[in-house]
Chain A
Amino acid sequence: MADDDEIILSDLSDEELVEQMMDDLYDGMRPEIEESVNILLERGWEPYRILTEALVAGMTIVGHDFRDGILFVPEVLLAANAMKGGMFILKPLLAETGAPKQGKMVIGTVKGDIHDIGKNLVGMMMEGAGFEVVDLGINNPVEDYLEALVREQADILGMSALLTTTMPYMKVVIDTMKEKGIRDDYIVLVGGAPLNEEFGRAIGADAYCRDAAVAVETAKDFVKRRHNQMNA
């Protein structure tokens, strides 16, 4: 049996090490990811390059297999935890080096709902994709969302609900944004098990995202479109 212990990470070439990191992310091996990030930094890799070429690329594979029903929540939580270990090292360095930012997202579970597994996954995957994420936690009344959007000068609002009894609250938030004339200042994404595309449209969200991987793709897409509009 080929034993994992026999791999000496520091002996691998850059290319092999990045491939190994993707495997280790997939397997949720946080200490190995931390070690590999440090090795690449020592070899002179830019923090942003480690983020995109190793961590984000690795989490993209995890995201796709989650979307395709090959991985489930426990595996994704472990992978995200490993990525967090790497991000913890990179974050201060990224700030120093002024790495490009994708955009800023305010995310939270709606009032009456304490479910945060899916929301946390979205937050971690968004961070992994280079977005700045402000997590408001669970049980958020409309005032908390609005206050955070303004304070953080966010681009995106993400709302999550896991209960049929709480999902209508998303409309309360969107309607309030409309009343205040700020609805179109933000990209509004919604998600959660009982939702679907039609529901997202009916309440006036920009998009319904069925899982964390789709949320990242959708957010990137909307940010790009917005950017193009502004330049047009």
Chain B
Amino acid sequence: MPDALTDMLSDRDWILADGATGTNLFNMGLQSGDSPEFWNVDKPDNIRALYRGPVEAGSDLFLTNTFGGNAARLKLHGGQDRVRELNRAGAELGREIADKSGRKVIVAGSMGPTGEVMAPLGALTHEIAVEMFEEQAQGLKEGGVDVLWVETISAPEEYKAAAEAAARVGLPWCGTMSFDTAGRTMMGTTSSDMVKIVGKLDPQPLAFGANCGVGASDLLRTVLGFTEAGAPRPVIAKGNAGIPKYVEGHIHYDGTPEVMANYAELARNCGAQIIGGCCGTTPDHLRAMRESLETRSKGERPTLEEIEAKLGGFSSAKDGTGADDTPKRERRGRRRA
């Protein structure tokens, strides 16, 4: 049975996803340090307002307020026994807003990382990680999401665990990683590494890509890396609206709607089909992105120089994908036979 996102991917050249969750909730008074997921039950009207933001700005797809809704993350708020309930509630509110919109809007069930290091480096085993994701995915499914949306992952092992959880609950899934360390994830995964990982996964994600990370320029360099390596599935680009700054008591991202309009245009030219924002991306940014995608036509694949000229510089000279920038080990000592 075909699902809503598969249909949309085959009908449309581009799909506008949503923007920020956390940074937008702060603007509604969420206190730093508190769990946003509790609001799915305690302040449902705020969450409705959060979801309406992207829907009214023209997003075709938005993520539920369940990023930290796994047992490992909820534990520090004493919410580890409320995984199913909080995810279900976040998904139900999403379903309600999407169904009221009068057009086709996809509800994607957000699943962020566990925050733990996986075995053998860390203590989290594959089996426990799969169980944690499965528990969350089950709640999201009960609440009626169209697709599971795994995001901000840095370890390939965790990405695979989430894929397995999606298979267990029987929902299609998408998954993005966060490339925030010299073009790689914190764990050293490059864009071309991710293409290889996705190619071997079963079940494969409906779409894969990058979210968050450093800035919009870096994110698009990663997208270029995906397509160059022969992306096996449609590509997702969800970049931050610039760089975080602290202004008058709250976090403000310095990317303007105009910058994000250029980013959306460039993201499509880089080969992304699902385009959205991440931290700092407000409905105003999304409106500008929608207009840009609707009014500007698809152009040539941009060079890194063009991206830099329109969106700003990169955080590192290389991104680990070139043959000449394979890590070199500067060893002082030497092995003796």
A contact set with B: CB distance below 8 Å: 2-4, 6-7, 16, 19-23, 26, 61, 64-65, 69-75, 77-78, 110-117, 138-139, 141, 162-169, 171-172, 193-196, 198-199, 202-203
Contacts and interface: CB of A to CB of B under 8 A. Distances in A.
A4 B335 contact: yes
B10 interface: no
Contact of B72 (A19, A114, A166, A198): A114
B337 interface: yes
A23 B32 contact: no
A196 B243 contact: yes
B246 A168 contact: yes
Given A163-B22, A168-B246, A193-B180, A112 B32 contact: yes
Contacts of B251: 164, 167-168
A65 B330 contact: yes
Contacts of B250: 168
B296 interface: no
Nearest to A163: B22
A131 to B, nearest CB: 23
Interface in B116-141: 117, 121-122
Given A73-B188, A171-B246, A193-B180, A114 B337 contact: no
B115 A114 contact: yes
Contacts of B115: 114-116, 162
Interface stretch (B23-31, B194-202, B282-290): B23-31
B243 A73 contact: no
B279 interface: yes
B117 A117 contact: yes
Given A114-B76, A164-B279, A199-B244, A69 B184 contact: yes
Nearest to B112: A163
Contact of B184 (A4, A61, A72): A72
B186 A73 contact: yes
Contact of A164 (B73, B75, B244, B249): B244
A69 B325 CA distance: 10
Interface stretch (B33-41, B88-96, B164-172, B262-270): B33-41
B337 A139 contact: no
A165 B188 contact: no
- Scoring A6, A23, A73, A115 by chain B CB atoms within 10 A of each residue's CB, the highest score goes to A73
B9 interface: no
A116 B77 CA distance: 16
A119 to B, nearest CB: 12
Given A22-B331, A72-B184, A196-B244, 6 more contacts: A16-B336, A20-B333, A75-B188, A112-B34, A162-B115, A166-B32
Interface residues of B, dominant DSSP: loop
A21 B280 CA distance: 46
A199 B245 contact: yes
B336 A7 contact: yes
A171 B76 CA distance: 20
6 contacts: A70-B328, A72-B186, A73-B188, A114-B115, A115-B115, A164-B23
A8 B337 CA distance: 10
Interface string B229-255: 000000000000001111101110000
A173 B329 CA distance: 40
A31 to B, nearest CB: 16
B295 interface: no
A196 B243 CA distance: 9
Contact of A22 (B72, B76, B333, B335): B333
B187 interface: yes
B330 A70 contact: yes
Given A69-B181, A165-B36, A112 B76 contact: yes
B68 to A, nearest CB: 8
Contacts of A162: 115
A155 B250 CA distance: 28
Given A22-B333, A202-B245, A72 B181 contact: yes
Contact of B316 (A6, A23, A69, A113): A69
B155 to A, nearest CB: 8
Given A72-B187, A77-B121, A168-B250, A19 B332 contact: yes
- Scoring A78, A113, A203 by chain B CB atoms within 10 A of each residue's CB, the highest score goes to A113
Contacts of A111: 32-33
A36 B155 CA distance: 32
A113 B34 CA distance: 9
Contacts of B280: 164
